[in-house]
Structure formats: structure tokens, C-alpha cells
Amino acid sequence: MVLIFVIGFILAVGLALALTPLVKKFAVKVGAVDVPNARKVHTTIMPRLGGLGIYLAFVVSMLLILPFAPDLFSGRNSSFIQAFLIGGTIIVIMGALDDRFDLNAKLKFLIQIAVACIVVFGFDIRVDFVNVPFQDAYSSLEGWISIPLTIFWIVGVTNAINLIDGLDGLAAGVSGIAIGTILVMSLIMGNLTIALISLVLLGCIIGFLFFNFHPAKIFMGDTGSLFLGFSLAMLSMLGFKQIAIVSFITPLIIIGVPLSDTFFAIIRRKLQKKPIFAPDKGHLHHCLRELGFSHRQTVLMIYGIAAFFGVLAVIQSSAALYEANWVTFVVICVMMFFLQIGAEVIGLVGKTKRPLLNLILRFRIKPDQQGNSKP
């Protein structure tokens, strides 16, 4: 079994390294290129469709190793891998068309909902268990709750990765860290099917990053960001489904970076009275660049934040194994505190929207008897 994992990883990295240059030539030939504008960081025309290299490397790798691991993909796992590949293929086709023709946002949204419905109704894959904080029991969700929750989760996470795709290697690296976290947790839980899928996908991302890390030679485009978002949605939602003692909060922590960036983007656009899907330069990577950090420093800093979330997810899920629900509460409090402080410091919501920092400063600065303020 270990040999299959090693071969799968090496195969995925090798295929991504071999296919990405071919995809680059194809993207240029068909005109799937990214033209610089005022909102983008790059200054030269760049080929897109890089996600097609990730997808092809993943599919070919899985098809080659499936015959050697039949036990891992039998029964319920067979439905999962079918839903994963069919849904992922539709997402990739949509992303590729968008990279070339710039599809309407509403059309893409409807297609994503359709893919989520295929996963739920076509393969009966949905969220089954949710943890009730500070209680030992897990309750099975009724269909009327689990179905919309699953659809919302798939569509939401799919788009979350797309929103952070603004710097060389950013979306690929953050997705890789999140998938690596799922890999570690699935190995701890003994879920070898999810572990193998995660390892193969991680290998594809690493191979692609050789061409995508700054300075990038190709962008993943919507083809890659949407496929990785869909993959994360599926793996994080279902990777620990059979382990009822794992709280549903775990996948939220795993994708903490794209999820929080999406959340603050929605708040920011609401406060500025802009459409939710309207692009802007207020995302995490934009704010860090404005603070003076270089392209590479910004990406590495966000990698560090993503790794921090990954460690929190492992701690939380490991504690859940021993029914230490208080650890989940502490992890959530720590995460929310640092998220809010970080967002206010770098201006994710707005340069003047700093309620928590203002509250802290109000307690730190006390007036003296003469009415002057002093720390």
C-alpha cells in the first residue's frame, strides 16, 4: 500500500511537470491569455488554462493507480470518486471556456449549482453528520437541511479559491497546504481512500507550482482555481464523513484563508454598496502588497497563515477524537480573534473599520487627572 502511495505521488508530480508546458503552448494558440489591467499585478500578457495541466495530471494518475488499489475505491468510495471526476470535469470545462471567452458570472454560478446538484442527487453524497458543541452525540441531518447545506458548501468553497487567485502561486499553494492538511488528518483517521486522492492531487499542484510560482510562466486561470476549489469542497466535506466524532468545524478551519478572505470581501462590498461579485483590490494579497511587502514575501506570508490554519485543524480534529470539545471552543476563539485583528490591521474591510483595535486602544489609554491621555 505504501508503494502505491509513493508511485501515485511521483506519477502526479511527473505528469504535471510534463503536461503544463504543453498546456501553456495550447493556451497561447487558442488565445486563452490574461491581459494586464489596473486591478492585476502582472504587467505582461500571460497564458491561462494552467489548471488544465493539474486536472489532466490528476485524472491520468488516478486512472493508472485505480486498478492497483481496488479495495480503496469499492462500495461507497466508488460513488465518491465518480462524483469527484464527473463534477470536476464539468467544472474544468466551464473554467476553460471562461479562460478563453470570459463567461457571464451568473451562468458560471448556475453551472456550479448544477454540478453540486449532480453530486447530491446523482450520487447521494451529502453532509450527514454535524457536531453539537459540548455534547457527545452527533445527529444525522435531515434531507431538507443536508441537501441545501451540501450545495451551499460546494458552491461556496469552489468560488473561495477563485477569489484569492491574484498572485503567482498563491491559489495553488494555499490549496496545496489545505489538501496537505486533509492528507495528514485522513492518515490519522485511517481513511486511506481520501489520503490517496489528496496525495495525488497534492503532487499535481507541486508539479504545477514549478511553472506558477513567482515569476510565473503560466496562470492556472479559472480552470485551475475552480477545480481546486471543487476538490477542496469534496475532500473537506467527505474526507471524515464516516468518523462521527470529527466536528464539521474542521473543514471550515482547513480552508480558513480563502473562506475568511471571501467573508471579508462580502462585508467590504456590502459596506461600500457594491455588488458581491464585483472585483476589487481589497483582498488579503492586495492589502499586504500595499503595506510594502514584495510579491514573493506576500505569497509566503499567506502560505504561513494557511499553514497556521492547517495546524489548528489538526489540533481540533485530534482533540475531537478524545471528545475534548473545549479544545474546539478554544481553537475557534483563537482563530476568530486573530482573523479580526489581522483583518483590521491590514485593512481587509476598510482603512477606517477597526472596531476591535479601537476597543483595545480605548482600554489601554486612560485619561489622567488633568484630562490628558496617557497609556
194 vs 263, residue with greater confidence: 194
For residue 215, whether the previous peptide bond is cis, meaning omega lies within 30 degrees of 0, is yes
Q: What is the mean pLDDT of residues 323-327?
A: 62
**DSSP category for residue 131:** E
How far apart CA 251 and CA 186 sit, in angstroms, is 12
Q: What pLDDT score was predicted for residue 322?
A: 60
Ranked by mean pLDDT, which of 13-27, 163-177, 273-287, 302-316 comes out on top?
13-27
How far apart CA 354 and CA 57 sit, in angstroms, is 45
Burial 226-248 (b: 16+ CB within 10 A, else e): bbbbbbbbbbbbbbbbebbebbb
pLDDT higher than threshold 50 for residue 134: no
Mean pLDDT is lowest, of 19-23, 62-66, 344-348, for 344-348
Q: What pLDDT score was predicted for residue 271?
A: 75
Residue 125: name the closest of 203, 230, 198, 205 by CA.
230
pLDDT higher than threshold 70 for residue 246: no
Rounded CA Rg of the chain: 21
Percent of the chain with pLDDT over 70: 79
Helices H / strands E in the chain, number of each: 15, 6
Q: What is the biggest distance separating any 2 CA atoms in the chain, rounded to whole angstroms?
A: 81
User: 61-114, pLDDT tens digit by residue?
Assistant: 999 998 888 888 887 788 889 999 999 999 999 999 999 999 998 999 999 999
Q: How many CB atoms lie within 10 A of CB 89?
A: 14
Find where cell 500595499 sits: 290
pLDDT higher than threshold 50 for residue 245: no
Q: How many CB atoms lie within 10 A of CB 153?
A: 20
357 vs 90, residue with greater confidence: 90
Residue 84: name the closest of 184, 185, 232, 244 by CA.
232
How far apart CA 53 and CA 55 sit, in angstroms, is 5
Q: Alpha helices of 31-142 — where are they, by DSSP H? A: 50-65, 76-101, 105-117, 123
User: 281-300, pLDDT tens digit by residue?
Assistant: 767 777 787 778 888 898 99
Q: What pLDDT score was predicted for residue 332?
A: 75
244 vs 77, residue with greater confidence: 77
